[in-house]
């Protein structure tokens, strides 16, 4: 059902319609998966944070408050959309939707098992990170188009984060790609069947994890939507329905981060007994759990210190990882 095979099919047997239908079904499965993950992980995160803070978390709506997120969603969607007079209305209306769509598209491209995947693109890894690189740019656009100063500062920070954390991340990804000799995710996971890359390049894992935290706007790197200083950063002037969208975006990106780390460092769907997609999801869930634990305990770093960390520590570490990997394993 891959894009390659669609083209092949289209040329050979004129059955483009059937392949397209397959892609649509797969897309619906992915969309449901993302909604389910956002919903249940959102609930789980609320419960976990409440546990850390000696609270109960949601309890009233449904058993163990399981329907609380649904109630919140209804509340948010029922509210009026207000666009500020200073804002660029087209960008404000479209950019958040495009942002969610891009992140969903990346998950769509990620294979869940040798058989369950939309494409077996030879350049899959590269493609994913190219699309991922758009996120800060779109956040910058939203912040800039909002026409208020808090969003504006947030937009500037977004660009600073882009230039200082994308580079180490891409270097680590390039190391992995060079190590396996391929940009294809399938061959990447096949290369990890004996030893996951987390063992071979722990420094790379560290750099990638930190860069991913920065990419996902998770504490301690959530300076773009720093609530104690910038109110909500790029979200300040977006109305409630868009806020609901941004929450969906948050958990989509959390799932995405978990999936990417699981695929790049923990052997993807490799694992005994359970079916392959389940293994991948379990790994992603555990990583998301750790991201949440970090979220609930740390304070926010200042933006200049984050840049310093990026350039003084993450960048050299990424290069050291590259060098070590080459001299020891190639």
Partner 1 sequence: MAITKVNVGPIHPSTHGVLRLVVHLDGDTIAKVEPHIGFLHRGVEKLVETRMYMQSHPYMEKIDYMAPMSVDDLYVSTVEKAMEIEVSERAQYVRVVLLELQRIASHLFWVGSICNDLGQLFTTFMWGFRDRDMALRLLETATGQRMFYVNMRLGGLARDIPEGFGDETLKFLDYLEKRLREYEKFIEKNPIFIQRMKDIGRISRSEALDLGVTGQVLRASGVSYDVRKNNPYYVYDKLDFNPVVLQQGDNLARYRARVLEIEESIRLIRKALGKMPEGNALGMPVKLVSPPVKNRIVSVSRENPRGEEMMYMVGDPQGPYRLSIRAPTFINLSALDYMARGNRFADLFAIMGTLDLVMADVDR
Which residues lie near partner 1 (CB under 8 A)? 49, 52-55, 149-150, 153, 219-220, 222-223, 226-229, 231, 295-305
Q: Tell me how far, at minimum, the Cβ of 293 lies from partner 1, in Å.
A: 11
Contacts of 35 (CB under 8 A, 6+ apart): 248
Rounded Cα gap, residues 274 and 196, in angstroms? 18
Rounded Cα gap, residues 2 and 112, in angstroms? 13
Q: Tell me how far, at minimum, the Cβ of 247 lies from partner 1, in Å.
A: 15
Instruction: Decide whether 23 or 300 has the Cβ nearer to partner 1.
Output: 300
Dihedral angle at the C-alpha atoms of 314, 319, 321, 327, nearest 10 degrees?
-170
Q: Tell me how far, at minimum, the Cβ of 36 lies from partner 1, in Å.
A: 24
Instruction: Decide whether 140 or 265 has the Cβ nearer to partner 1.
Output: 140
Instruction: Decide whether 8 or 304 has the Cβ nearer to partner 1.
Output: 304
Strand, helix or coil for residue 66: coil
Residue-by-residue DSSP string for 8-47: HHHHHH--HHHHHHHHHHHHHHHHHHHHHHHHHHHHHHHH
Instruction: Decide whether 11 or 85 has the Cβ nearer to partner 1.
Output: 85
> Count of alpha carbons within 13 Å of 328, Cβ hemisphere only?
10
Cis ω on the peptide bond leading into residue 220 (within 30° of 0)? Answer: yes
Q: Tell me how far, at minimum, the Cβ of 299 lies from partner 1, in Å.
A: 4
Q: Output the six-digit token pair for 130.
A: 């190219």
Instruction: Decide whether 215 or 222 has the Cβ nearer to partner 1.
Output: 222
Instruction: Decide whether 46 or 253 has the Cβ nearer to partner 1.
Output: 46
How many of the other CB atoms lie within 10 Å of CB of 231?
Answer: 15
Residue with tokens 């069947």: 193
Instruction: Decide whether 116 or 296 has the Cβ nearer to partner 1.
Output: 296
Closest CA to 43 of 71, 66, 77, 59: 66
Q: Tell me how far, at minimum, the Cβ of 165 lies from partner 1, in Å.
A: 17
Instruction: Decide whether 89 or 302 has the Cβ nearer to partner 1.
Output: 302
**Burial of 194 per CB tally in 10 Å (0-12, 13-18, 19+):** exposed
Q: Tell me how far, at minimum, the Cβ of 153 lies from partner 1, in Å.
A: 7
Residue 127, H or E segment: helix 124-132
Q: Tell me how far, at minimum, the Cβ of 277 lies from partner 1, in Å.
A: 31
Q: Tell me how far, at minimum, the Cβ of 104 lies from partner 1, in Å.
A: 26
Q: Output the six-digit token pair for 310.
A: 């990026």
């Amino acid at each position: 059902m891959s894009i390659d095979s669609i083209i092949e099919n289209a040329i050979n047997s004129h059955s483009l319609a059937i392949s397209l239908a397959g892609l649509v079904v797969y897309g619906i499965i992915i969309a449901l998966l993302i909604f389910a993950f956002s919903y249940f992980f959102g609930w789980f995160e609320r419960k976990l944070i409440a546990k850390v803070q000696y609270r109960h978390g949601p309890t009233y709506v449904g058993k163990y408050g399981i329907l609380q997120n649904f109630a919140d969603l209804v509340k948010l969607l029922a509210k009026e959309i207000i666009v500020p007079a200073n804002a660029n209305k087209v960008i404000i209306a479209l950019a958040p939707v495009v942002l969610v769509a891009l992140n969903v598209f990346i998950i769509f491209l990620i294979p869940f098992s040798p058989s369950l995947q939309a494409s077996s693109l030879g350049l899959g890894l590269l493609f994913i990170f190219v699309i991922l690189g758009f996120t800060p740019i779109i956040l910058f656009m939203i912040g800039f188009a909002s026409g208020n100063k808090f969003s504006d500062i947030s937009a500037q920070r977004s660009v600073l984060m882009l230039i200082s954390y994308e580079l180490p991340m891409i270097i680590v990804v390039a190391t992995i790609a060079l190590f396996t000799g391929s940009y294809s995710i399938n061959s990447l996971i096949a290369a990890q069947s004996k030893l996951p890359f987390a063992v071979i390049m722990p420094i790379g894992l560290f750099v990638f994890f930190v860069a991913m935290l920065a990419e996902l706007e998770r504490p301690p790197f959530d300076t773009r939507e720093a609530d104690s200083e910038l109110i909500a950063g790029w979200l300040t002037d977006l109305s409630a329905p868009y806020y609901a969208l941004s929450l969906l975006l948050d958990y989509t990106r959390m799932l995405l981060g978990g999936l990417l780390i699981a695929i790049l460092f923990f052997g993807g769907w490799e694992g005994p007994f359970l079916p392959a997609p389940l293994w991948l999801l379990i790994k992603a869930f555990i990583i998301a759990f750790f991201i949440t634990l970090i979220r609930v305990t740390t304070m926010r770093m200042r933006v200049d210190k984050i840049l310093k960390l990026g350039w003084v520590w993450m960048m050299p570490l990424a290069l050291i990882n590259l060098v070590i990997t080459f001299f020891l394993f190639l």
